[in-house]
Amino acid sequence: MENVVIVTGGSGHIGNVLVRALLSKGYKVGVIDLDPKDKALEGLDIEYYQGDIRDLDFLTKIFKKAKYVCHLAGIISIAPGKEKLMYDVNVEGTKTVIEACKKAKVKRLLYTSSIHALYEPPKGIPIIEKLAKITGVKDEYGKTKILATQEVLKASKQDLDTVVVYPTGIVGPYDFRHSEFGSLIRDARKYSKVFYIEGGYNFVDVRDVANGIILALEKGKSGEGYLLAGQGITILELFQTLAELTDTPGPKIKAPTCIIKFLAPIAEFFYKLLKKKPVFTEYAIDVLHSNHLTDSSKAEKELGFKARDIYQTIKDTLAWYEGKDVGLK
């Protein structure tokens, strides 16, 4: 069988970078996405299949052409109102992907989960590959990723070779859909960075995640999961870096967290009226104050995973938005 990889959700940020990385390594690639082929995949030598991952017959037909399936398709939202859609796509869709892989006799299914599916210990103790309990998770997105991950891991004991990866916060070039973090970098010359808030998070370069997925596909142990973490950075450090790269004023005044948390629900309400994506939410603020100490030693030892410096990622992302070629490495 040829080295054909089918990628669900291949138009997304991780997806389109993964497709590029797979092609660069000599794989033949097919992409399944709900929407028509968009600019994220323009010019790439792939087979494109438009369809719904909840359609078992459609998936089975496509998967019969593949040796491997990388399942990335899903709904990501921290705003209220999309709970049912997230469950339908993230959980039920994953169940359908698993069933289609079995029917099509796919050699291996790789599922891209999330750090939000992992147990968050008290600050000072690193996050590792330990699934959280549903009862301990506040956000609906995290709950759907836990449930979907459980299904994938369970399938490894039912005659389907499966591997899971857990990326932390994604950032990097080829961000055609302009994620929140990507937009923050893209517009860094246009807004004031004098004010900043406390907190930070662990972010990993999307190119390193794509490479980590391929390493897990090729070297990962069936039924195992691998945390793909990058580097922790505070909001203060982020704004300082953006100020330096764009030659604009840097942060000087810390906005009290209590005021930001008070304003967040109000902001969410008005963004909903305007039908726009909230810039910040109560959940986002909670995430920035959560434990983001991570341990990727399992992926490093078993797969050879490496993550680059987050400051180089920020620099490359800004350069990509300015039309420069930053490459995959």
More confident residue, 309 or 287: 309
pLDDT at 196: 74
| Least confident residue range of 56-65, 134-143, 257-266, 300-309 | 257-266
Query: Per the structure block, which two tokens stand in for 164?
Result: 């899971």
Q: Give the three-state DSSP class for 29.
A: strand
Report whether pLDDT(122) > 60.
Answer: yes
Model confidence at 138, in pLDDT bands (50, 70, 90)?
confident
Specify the pTM.
0.91
At 304-319, the pLDDT tens digits run 999 999 999 999 999 9
Report pLDDT for 78: 63
Q: How many other C-beta atoms lie within 10 A of the C-beta of residue 18?
A: 30
> Which residue in 197, 207, 186 sits closest to 253, CA to CA?
197
What is the phi/psi pair of residue 242, to 5°? -65, -35
Tell whether the model's pLDDT for residue 265 goes beyond 60.
no
Query: Which position has the higher pLDDT, 239 or 80?
Result: 239
Q: What is the largest CA-CA distance in the chain?
A: 60
The distance from CA 250 to its chain's CA centroid, rounded to whole angstroms, is 29
Task: Quote the pLDDT of residue 281.
Answer: 63
- Distance in angstroms (rounded) separating the CA atoms of residues 25 and 41: 17
High-pLDDT (> 70) share of the chain, %: 89
Does the pLDDT value for residue 262 go beyond 50? no
Highest mean pLDDT among 56-60, 133-137, 324-328: 56-60
Q: Using 50, 70 and 90 to split pLDDT, how confident is the model at 278? A: low
Q: Give residue 270's pLDDT.
A: 47
pLDDT of residue 17: 98
- Contact between residue 246 and residue 318 where contact means Cβ atoms under 8 Å apart: yes
Mean pLDDT over 167-181 rounds to: 94
Please give the residue that has the higher pLDDT: either 77 or 241: 241
SS3 192: coil
Residue 56 tokens, joined: 């078992």
Share of the chain above pLDDT 90, in %: 74
Res. 156 pLDDT band, cuts 50 70 90: very high
Predicted local distance difference test score (pLDDT) of residue 329: 86
Average pLDDT, the chain: 90
Position 76 confidence tier, pLDDT thresholds 50, 70, 90? confident
Q: At 284, is the pLDDT very low, low, confident or very high (cuts 50, 70, 90)?
A: low
| 13-24 vs 206-219: helix crossing angle, rounded to 10 | 60
DSSP category for residue 36: P
Confidence of residue 118 (pLDDT cuts 50, 70, 90): very high
